[in-house]
A and B are shown apart, each in its own frame.
Chain A
Amino acid sequence: MPDYVIEMLNITKEFPGVIANDDITLKLKKNEIHALLGENGAGKSTLMSVLFGLYQPEKGTIKKNGEIVHIKNPNDANALGIGMVHQHFMLVDVFTVLENIILGVEPNKLGFLKKNEAREKVVALSKKYGLMVDPDAYVKDITVGMQQRVEILKMLYRENEILIFDEPTAVLTPQEIDELMNIMRNLAKEGKSILFITHKLNEIMAVADRVTVLRKGKYVATINVKDATKEKLSKMMVGRSVNFNIEKEPSNPKEVVLEARNLVIKSATSHKMAVNNVSFDVHRGEIVCIAGIDGNGQTELVYGVTGLEDIHSGSLILDGHDITHCTIRDRSKLGMSHIAEDRHKHGLILDYSLEENLVLQRYWQPEFQKNGFIKKGAVRAYAERLIKKFDIRSGQGSIAAVRSMSGGNQQKAIVAREIDKKHELLVAVQPTRGLDIGAIEYIHKQLIIERDKGYGVLLISLELDEVMDLPDRILVIYEGKIVGELDPKKTTFQELGLYMSGAKRDPKYDVQFTEGGAK
């Protein structure tokens, strides 16, 4: 009888309108690294949240070392030695690393904090497991990699034996991912048992011992990684064979549609320039991707290109028109469409209906209003046309409140709106974030159709698979500068990672386009 340190038996967890976990059984062996694989919405995060005490299951039991336990909140989980590193870090920006680690288990005397003994313990743990951190640095000032190490130290400080990692590599470079894989192997060797949630097959193949696959809330299978192949795993994950390579014709770029020269854009949070002398072109008929680790200026670059932020210096020319200081409305009129990064913050107005959102970029056009009065009939007809063409699903059709739609359909609505609108350049930022494979395939197809129609597509993405498969050219951004141009057909993930982390840079990019420019 194998030694299971944790058993989750027949777990069912429901939310209003959806069964997130449907009779799932998961068993974790001691000292193993066990991966939990599934698409978005498969129920992986929910299952782990149940284990960590954030949710209570409707049915099912949890056993630790063979005995039934009840985990009603994170404190209970902690007491049982279970710790979790969340996908979105649970850190307080304005606290120091030390304060974040001790929060909730503060050493104190009569309520007054005693930080020194904590500091000693943290430094010792840090050395033992090779997790370098600065205890007195403020979390808002440290790198994402260090933030993740802080999260891991939180668990080790509490002497957790069972460690749960939720999509830990989403924010890391290929090199940092390798480091994390090493850290996980060390932790397992030192006696910890690890569960990690992912939808990335490479990582599972690299570091896991066994993998459990979930699909749409249900348990599919648990297999040993040495007996698995990527094809087998992905078929279990989506229920059908997945084509790993996007089908597309080679691109046929024509004249330049967007010309960016010496762009300098300020950062909202620090004194440095977020975008520091960036120049590039996008041609009609090509997809150009700006790749980089989150936080290296691509967000500000997109804001500058689309008008959400001001361009400090430099020039931007769209289809022959100088739009450097144009308003967002004017840029839209001159032919820019923008699929925004954050569909809730920018892309949609959640309290408006679907049809009201579909005309968000066009309500002022003569087609939709007369003398200031909205032509409701025209709006309705347009919405229905888009719903049909792009297969946007909602509870009540075009009058559905967008808030009630699923993430995938919300994204489809945004994509529909921006593509259908007349444009010369399509700016797509993280267009497939949080979507399942079906939706991702669909949107990729649409972007290629736009490219083949002769428009330019500027893609910003953090998904390495997407960066390597979809665009025709990759420009890597690092600390606000373009450091290299790569051909996706010829480069490798490793090379891409080196550029993204600043370890390699193409010297020609420092020389080109800098007419009297600043470094």
Chain B
Amino acid sequence: MNIFGDLLSSMIVFAVPLILVALGAMFSERSGTINIALEGIMIIGGLVASLIFKFLTVQSGPLMGTPIWGLPSQLCVLIGIIGAAIAGGIYSFFLAFASIRLKADQTIGGTALNIMAPALAIVITWAIQGQGQTAIYTPSWVPLATAPMDANFFERVFLKSSYLTTPICVLVIVASWVIIYKTKFGLRLRSCGENPAAADSVGINVYKMRYTGVMISGALAGIGGIAFTLAAGSGFASTVAGYGFLALAVMIFGNWQPLKIVLAALLFAFFKSLSGMASSIPFLPSFEGVKESLYIYLMIPYIVTMIILALTSKKSRAPKAEGIPYDKSSR
């Protein structure tokens, strides 16, 4: 039962970054731009937030390890998260510029940003922390709460590995649904992704809408990046292990709809948590005699993703104009 609690808490913590990034991707794609750079944006978000956490921590002396100026710890976490969102938004601007303004192949611009982000992270971390020190550790004041060693089921689910990013994620889910379906902005955004010529003909600025879509996805991916770092547990290590692309798969599997995306994300997070806890769960095969069986479990989320994509891709209904740059003059 306790193990089940651990599993559930781990599942939520891994689902949060997936949900955030996948919802962001949905905004971008619904407006007509494929955001392949999510992986890189997540890294930038994680980097900026981790650096903010580091700077907000007293480095030496009797108060070492606590937030500076006696600020409440969750306020500092919020500052870090906002920083991640802003950084993500700015970084995604480069993708937006290349894809929308210059109408370049959207995968090229995105790939460039994906390669640059970890490199930039390492170079900056190296410069700040010194040669070879490429990981930024998360300070201990960041989690919302901690669970005692002998915690019961509920304590495990709600207290263990709980971070501010989780309630923020819930807010984002609700906000996304409302914005996409119930607001003027959402209607216009969707029209740009389905038939940009139609949107243009009623006076909607397609370029502005698409920029907004991409930058929203950037901000959410930035938050997703720090959420991933927190989920991973040991600090920022200039990688998000393919989560940026997993989020795209989740978005496709969720048919570009917020609620389905949440369900899809929970499914994947389930498998990922399973891989981390395989040895402790009695009824799962532990592959006797197989060395390093953790690799089997590491593969599972990706294999499951592929199976599901194979089954659902034929029926999926992507926004009609996604990936096609909008050229005002091609009427």
Contacts and interface: CB of A to CB of B under 8 A. Distances in A.
A54 interface: yes
Contacts of B194: 92-95
B191 A103 contact: yes
Contacts of B187: 95, 99, 103, 106, 113
Contact of B331 (A49, A78, A103, A105): A49
Nearest to A104: B202
Given A49-B331, A54-B331, A103-B191, A90 B201 contact: yes
A88 B200 CA distance: 14
Interface in B186-223: 187-188, 190-191, 194-195, 197-204
Interface in A81-125: 84, 86, 88-95, 99-100, 103-106, 108, 111-113
A92 B204 CA distance: 13
Given A91-B195, A95-B191, A113 B202 contact: no
A73 interface: yes
Contacts of A95: 187, 190-191, 194
Interface residues of A, number: 28
B182 interface: yes
A88 B198 CA distance: 10
B162 to A, nearest CB: 33
A19 B242 CA distance: 51
A75 interface: yes
B183 A84 contact: no
Contacts of B202: 74, 90, 103-105, 154
A111 B191 contact: no
B185 interface: yes
B201 A111 contact: no
B217 to A, nearest CB: 20
A99 B185 CA distance: 13
Given A74-B202, A90-B202, A111 B195 contact: no
B320 interface: yes
B320 to A, nearest CB: 7
Contacts of A113: 182-184, 187
Nearest to A110: B183
Contact of B195 (A90, A104, A106): A90
A507 to B, nearest CB: 40
Nearest to B194: A92
A92 B201 contact: no
Nearest to B205: A73
A99 B195 CA distance: 13
Contacts of B198: 89-92, 100, 103
A74 B195 contact: no
A106 B203 contact: no
Chain B, interface residues (CB within 8 Å), range: 20 to 34
Nearest to A76: B203
Contacts of A15: 329
A295 to B, nearest CB: 18
A425 to B, nearest CB: 33
Nearest to A154: B202
- Interface SS of A by simple majority: loop
A108 B203 contact: no
Nearest to A52: B201
A74 B331 contact: no
A90 B197 contact: yes
Contact of B203 (A78, A100, A112): A78
Interface string A53-76: 010000000000000000001110
A75 B203 contact: yes
Contact of A92 (B182, B195, B200, B331): B195
Contacts of A75: 203
A92 B194 CA distance: 6
A84 B187 CA distance: 21
Interface string A140-160: 000000000000001000000
Given A92-B195, A93-B320, A111 B203 contact: no
Nearest to A75: B203
A74 B191 contact: no
Contacts of A106: 184, 187-188
Interface in A410-466: none
Contact of A108 (B184, B191, B197, B200): B184
A154 B201 CA distance: 11
B204 A103 contact: yes
Nearest to A79: B203
B200 A74 contact: yes
Contacts of B320: 93-94
Given A90-B197, A92-B198, A93-B194, A104 B183 contact: no
A112 B182 contact: yes
B265 to A, nearest CB: 24
Given A91-B195, A93-B195, A86 B201 contact: yes
Contacts of A86: 201
A84 B200 CA distance: 13
A92 B188 CA distance: 11
A114 B29 CA distance: 25
A41 to B, nearest CB: 14
A482 to B, nearest CB: 32
A439 B202 CA distance: 35
A324 B184 CA distance: 51
Contacts of A105: 202
**6 smallest A-B Cβ distances: which pairs?**
A104-B202, A90-B198, A75-B203, A90-B201, A106-B184, A74-B203
29 contacts: A54-B200, A54-B201, A54-B331, A78-B203, A84-B201, A88-B197, A90-B195, A91-B195, A92-B190, A92-B199, A93-B194, A93-B320, A94-B317, A95-B187, A103-B187, A103-B188, A103-B191, A103-B202, A104-B188, A104-B199, A104-B202, A104-B203, A104-B204, A105-B202, A111-B183, A111-B184, A112-B184, A113-B182, A113-B183
Given A91-B198, A103-B204, 4 more contacts: A73-B203, A93-B194, A93-B195, A108-B183
Interface of B: 182-185, 187-188, 190-191, 194-195, 197-204, 317, 320, 329, 331
